[in-house]
Each structure stands twice: as C-alpha cells, then as structure tokens.
C-alpha cells in the first residue's frame, strides 16, 4: 500500500509539472490598469467582407465588397485632472488616456456584375482602378489632382487625438477630441468591437477559472445607416483557462456576442430610408490578458451577420439580402 501511495504521489507531481499554467491558481485579477504617462502600442487589423443581393429596375444584381484596415493604436496614460472639476460619475472612475492612430492603411474592393473598383491608400501612396483602368496612381503620377481627396482623411487621422476614461473593467467614456478620428473609431466599433480600445469588458475584479459575466452596449449606426433607435449588443465573457506564453501566465477570455434588437430602421446621407429585418448577428473571440500588469497581450474577434433591407427614396424601392463577416485582430507591440 505504501509503495502504491508513493507511486500515486509521484504521478500527481509529474502531472503538476506537465501543466505549469496551473501554478497560476484558480483565480486571476481581471482588471485593466494603465498608469499616468505609461504608453501602450498595438498592431491592429480589421477585415470585412459582404455580399448583397437585390433587384434594381427589374434586374437582379449582386454587390461584393472587401474592406480592410491595418493600423497602429497608441494608448497613453494621462495624469488625473487637477482643475477642481466635479468627481466622475459612478462607474466612470478610472484611468484617463489619450488615443492616437498611426500607420493607417486602407483597401476597398467592390464588384457588381462586370464592374470592378479598387482603392488602396497607405503612407502617402494612392492607387485607384475602375474596371482595370488606372484612375489614380501616385507612384506613376496618374490622377495627381484627385490624390488630396483620398489622402486628406488619413492625414487628418494621423494628426488627431481623442481622450477618454477607462475604468478597471475597460468600459469607456464618450471620447473627446477630433471628430474625424471619432468617426473612424465608431466604424470599427460598429463592426463588433465593444469599445474604441480593442478589448472585451473585463470582470473588473478577481474571477475564477470558468466564471462568466455579461455586458451590453448600443450601436447608433449599422454601416452607413444611422439608426432611428440604437441596436443593442450583449456580449458574454468567460475566463476560460490559463495560457503559458513567453514565460508568463496569461488569462484567456472567451467572448460571445449577440444582437438583441431584431427590427431596426435607419437613414443614410443620401436620405435613403431603410428597414432591417431578419437580422441575425453573432460574434466570437479569444483574448489574452496578463493579470500581473493589467494589460491585454493579443486578441481576435469575428462577427457574422445576415439581414434583409427594404428601402425607399424618391418613390423608388430597394430590397437587399446581405451577408457579411468582420474580423478584428490585435497584438501588443514592444515598447520603444
């Protein structure tokens, strides 16, 4: 019996050594932390595809789009306000941060029937083609008079900054700052990321492995349409397990999102009034947090959506069936 007991103890010790992540324990401090003057850098990608099928003037058509962004997101901790301002409202306490975007590149491809168009913009380079014909090509001095229309938004974004507050769970206050950058961040957020800083909502406290918590946020826009009543997204987060990476024990956070609102109405800048029906939108992602520093290390989130659009403008009706997918990824960059 003693020999068997020793054998079982030895086996248990071997198993413990084989799974070092267990050494991190059953709980983790799932709070976001950023100190004043601390700077974080993340490489970010956004890739979205969609297929829209409908009928225009009695003829069926299919529109395929492919849009992608790559960028570097900079987050810098700001010192607390000392101007005698009123204390923050409950739930809004936290770190003040400045957010900037650099190295933005953009690619937009659209195909409808035999018509194709493609636009790519990056670091001062612009190329635009329509049905194989080059309309703008900055590297070959083609269409230079049109380049400012493509470059101006990116240049403005590169020089812009917004400020906001992040609480310990990662919830964000309304940003203050450049409107152009805010619009870009709104577009990213509309794709499924809950906040401007690409993270899920944390527990904001110590949580156990296997524990879940929920959140909710509203979307005032879907694509180019501003909604009469915001859509509501409800994410569920789960601290699923520990992951050993580069000598650190990281907490893996699983995220699942669903759209609560099914019937939506909206309008775009061209005053096209539309109604979204049969809306099904779901998302899933995995994120790694370092509880020791309160920083996210990497993450990915993918959302899929299907819906029908009925629209009317100047007596003309529009009907579309749309299926789309958006994928976000980010990874922490080394400090400079």
How confident is the model at residue 195, as a pLDDT?
54
Q: Supply angle C-alpha 213, 217, 223, rounded to 5.
A: 135
Rounded to whole angstroms, how far apart are CA atoms 74 and 203? 24
Place 92 in a pLDDT band, splitting at 50, 70 and 90: very low
Domain ranges for the chain: 27-332
Per residue in 302-329, pLDDT (tens digit) is 999 999 988 876 677 778 899 999 999 9
Helix, strand, coil abundance in the chain, percent, nearest 5: 15, 55, 25
**Mean of per-residue pLDDT scores for the chain:** 81
pTM for the full model?
0.81
How confident is the model at residue 23, as a pLDDT?
43
| Sequence-ordered list of residues with C-beta below 8 angstroms from that of 11, at least 6 positions apart, any chain | none
Q: Find out whether 323 and 280 touch, Cβ atoms under 8 Å.
A: no
Q: What CATH number labels 27-332? A: 2.30.230
**Encoding tokens for residue 207?**
């949580």
DSSP string computed for 38-90: -EEEEEEEEEEEEEEEEEETTEEEEEEEEEEEEEEEEEEEEPPP-S-PPPPPT
Q: Which helix (H) or strand (E) holds 15?
A: helix 2-18
How confident is the model at residue 302, as a pLDDT?
93
Query: What is the pairing mode between strands 248-259 and 225-245?
Result: antiparallel
Is the pLDDT reported for residue 15 higher than 70? Answer: no
DSSP string computed for 90-114: TT--SEEEEEEEEEEEEEEEEEETT
| Sequence-ordered list of residues with C-beta below 8 angstroms from that of 89, at least 6 positions apart, any chain | none
Place 198 in a pLDDT band, splitting at 50, 70 and 90: low
The helix-helix angle for 179-190 and 147-158 (nearest 10°) equals 90
Higher pLDDT among residues 153 and 249, named by residue: 249
Q: Which of 142-156, 200-214, 252-266, 287-301 has the lowest mean pLDDT?
A: 142-156
Per residue in 120-155, pLDDT (tens digit) is 988 778 899 999 999 988 888 888 787 777 666 666
Higher pLDDT among residues 120 and 81, named by residue: 120
Place 21 in a pLDDT band, splitting at 50, 70 and 90: very low
Rounded to whole angstroms, how far apart are CA atoms 294 and 168? 9
Phi, psi of 287 (to 5 degrees): -130, 145
In sequence order, the β-bridge partners of residue 132 are: none
Place 19 in a pLDDT band, splitting at 50, 70 and 90: very low
Place 187 in a pLDDT band, splitting at 50, 70 and 90: low
């Amino acid at each position: 019996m003693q020999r068997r007991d020793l054998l079982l103890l030895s086996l248990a010790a071997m198993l413990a050594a084989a799974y070092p992540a267990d050494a991190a324990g059953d709980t983790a401090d799932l709070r976001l932390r950023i100190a004043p003057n601390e700077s974080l850098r993340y490489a970010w990608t956004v890739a979205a595809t969609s297929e829209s099928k409908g009928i225009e003037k009695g003829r069926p058509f299919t529109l395929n789009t492919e849009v992608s962004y790559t960028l570097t997101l900079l987050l810098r901790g700001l010192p607390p306000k000392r101007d005698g301002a009123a204390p923050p409202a409950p739930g809004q306490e936290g770190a003040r941060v400045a957010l900037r975007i650099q190295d933005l590149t953009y690619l937009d491809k659209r195909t409808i029937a035999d018509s194709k168009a493609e636009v790519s913009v990056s670091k001062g380079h612009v190329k635009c083609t329509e049905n194989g014909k080059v309309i703008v090509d900055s590297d070959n001095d083609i269409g230079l008079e049109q380049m400012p229309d493509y470059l101006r938004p990116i240049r403005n974004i590169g020089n812009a900054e917004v400020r906001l507050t992040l609480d310990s769970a990662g919830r964000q206050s309304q940003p203050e700052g450049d409107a152009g950058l805010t619009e870009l961040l709104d577009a990213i957020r509309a794709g499924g990321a809950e906040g401007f800083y690409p993270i899920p909502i944390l527990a904001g406290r110590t949580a156990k492995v296997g524990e879940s918590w929920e959140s909710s946020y509203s979307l005032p826009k879907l694509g180019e349409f501003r909604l009469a009543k915001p859509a509501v997204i409800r994410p569920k987060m789960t601290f699923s397990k520990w992951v050993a990476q580069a000598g650190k024990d990281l907490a893996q956070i699983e995220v699942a999102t669903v759209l609560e609102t099914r019937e939506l109405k909206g309008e775009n800048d061209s005053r096209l009034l539309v109604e979204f029906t049969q809306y099904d939108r779901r998302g899933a992602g995995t994120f790694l947090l370092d509880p020791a520093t309160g920083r996210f290390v990497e993450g990915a989130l993918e959302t899929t959506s299907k819906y029908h659009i009925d629209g009317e403008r100047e007596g003309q009706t529009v009907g579309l069936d749309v299926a789309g997918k958006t994928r976000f990824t980010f990874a922490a960059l080394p400090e400079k």
